[in-house]
Amino acid sequence: MQQITIRGIAPEIEQEIRRSAKGSRKSINQVIKEIIYREFKKREAPASSLKELAGGWSRNEAAEFELSIKSCEQIDEDMWK
């Protein structure tokens, strides 16, 4: 695996990274990798932002909704004659 060197990080950012690493008992490298992965993971699925705006249902909520409209799915044969 290739390496990346990052220069010129503001001292306060560096201290935050070091505090985070120490607090979570992770290496500085691991903390920085997690930050990078989080940032790029956001960009991988742009449609997920639509879910936040439109809302989403859990499987249980969807099942409850389908059950509640079950009576609407019945066809009244007399109406179609």
- pLDDT tens digit sequence for 17-28: 999 999 999 999
Chain segment 47-66, per-residue pLDDT in tens = 666 666 777 778 898 899 99
Give the DSSP letter of residue 76: -
Residue 9 resides in a domain: yes
Residue 71 resides in a domain: no
Residue 78 resides in a domain: no
Number of domains forming the structure of the chain: 1
Residue 30 resides in a domain: yes
Which domain does 35 fall in, by range? Answer: 1-46
- Spatial separation of the C-alpha atoms in residues 9 and 17, rounded to whole Å: 10
Residue 79 resides in a domain: no
Query: What would the 3-class secondary structure string for 8-67 be?
Result: CCCHHHHHHHHHHHHHHCCCHHHHHHHHHHHHHHHHHCCHHHHHHHHCCCCHHHHHHHHH
Q: What is the pTM of this model?
A: 0.49
Residue 58 resides in a domain: no
**Identity at 30, one-letter amino acid code:** Q
Residue 69 resides in a domain: no
pLDDT for residue 44 is more than 60: no
